[in-house]
Amino acid sequence: MSELTYVRASTVSEAVGLLNEPGIRSFPLAGGTDMMIQLRRGEIPAGRFVDITKIPELKSRQVAGGPEGTVLLGAGVTISDILEDTALVAMIPLLGQAGETFGGPQIRNLATVGGNVINQAACADLLPVLICLEAVAFVAAPEGEYCVPVSELVSQPLPAGRIVRAFSFAVPPTAARSVYLRLSRRRTLTTARLSLTMLGRVGADGAIAEARIVPGAIFRTVRRVKPVEEMLVGQLPSESLFEACGQKMVDLFLAESGGRWSAPYKQVVISKLTERGLRAVYGN
């Protein structure tokens, strides 16, 4: 095993200072639920863990501006913290739905939102939810704080020496409906085999006014599926539209995956999951 040391930071600026100390390679350590597995596999090089779990700024949860205001979610908020915050879950049901399916109680007590986003697993539960909510990340860097959409963190991973302080997103309009669907091998304790996060809204004229769709573990990266979103906006919700969207999702999956061994099984699941999600969001 490689040589590793440990230090605990008590503020964001102290953590950034430690992470950028010359002569030693340092990594942020949050709940450790991904990092400990990487450590056991020998994937963590020699260096130093900078424990960020006791930094109060990373634990904040705030809603500003009422029902259609803005949510600020600290990167160090755990899945259990989210589930215990009944007001937050009532306002943003996607957080509760994804949190409830997440691992077992011990993992939920440790696993943080920030770790879930930075680890960027295709099967992550919170990452697609934050992309669907159009969240931005506030990143603390030696030169100061900057802001980046979570969707961009997937294509351009966070450079070393920085930490995510918090995520922010607008509370969806009251007329919006959302759903988080997840398929896994067993009911609990395993990561998702496939997931689908959807948020949408029907306008006063009965046509679909908004569509956000983020699959997990279907495409190579977790991202919105614009071709399917564009099929929906402006249309009247109908079973035939939902089926066509399910088929489009399958076509996109096959084009990207090149028809791996699991493709026949996944095709059926992807089309049915898409239809089910669309019914939940746009159905009567």
Residue 163 found at the interface with ligand FAD (CB under 6 A) = yes
Question: For the stretch 175-184, what's the b/e string if a residue is b when 16 or more beta carbons lie within 10 angstroms of its beta carbon?
Answer: eeebbbbbbb
Contact between 35 and ligand FAD by CB under 6 A: the answer reads: yes
CB of 245 to ligand FAD, least distance (A): 25
Give 265's contacts (C-beta < 8 A, 6+ positions apart).
none
Residue 148 or 209 having the CB closest to ligand FAD: 148
| 99 binding ligand FAD? (CB under 6 A) | no
Residues facing residue 168 across a β-bridge: 72, 136
For helices 239-257 and 263-282, give the axis angle rounded to 10 degrees. Answer: 140
Is there binding between residue 118 and ligand FAD (CB under 6 A)?
yes
Q: Does 176 bind ligand FAD (CB under 6 A)?
A: no
Sorted by sequence, the CB contacts under 8 Å of residue 247 that are 6+ apart come out as 271
Name which position in 111, 133, 198, 225 contacts ligand FAD (CB under 6 A). Answer: 111
Q: Does 81 bind ligand FAD (CB under 6 A)?
A: no
**Should residue 30 be labelled a site residue for ligand FAD when binding is judged by CB under 6 A?**
yes
Terminal alpha carbon distance of the chain: 57
Report how many residues bind ligand FAD under the rule CB under 6 A.
Answer: 30
Contact 26, 17 (CB under 8 A): no
Listed residue (175, 77, 165) closest to 129, CA to CA = 77
Query: Residue 41 or 220: which CB sits closer to ligand FAD?
Result: 41
Contact 130, 214 (CB under 8 A): no
User: What six digits make up the tokens of 245?
Assistant: 């969207």
Q: Does 119 bind ligand FAD (CB under 6 A)?
A: yes
- 114 near ligand FAD, rule: CB under 6 A: yes
- Shortest reach from residue 200's CB to ligand FAD, in Å: 23
Binding site for ligand FAD (CB under 6 A): 27-35, 37, 52, 75, 102-103, 107, 110-112, 114-116, 118-119, 121, 124-125, 158, 163-164, 191
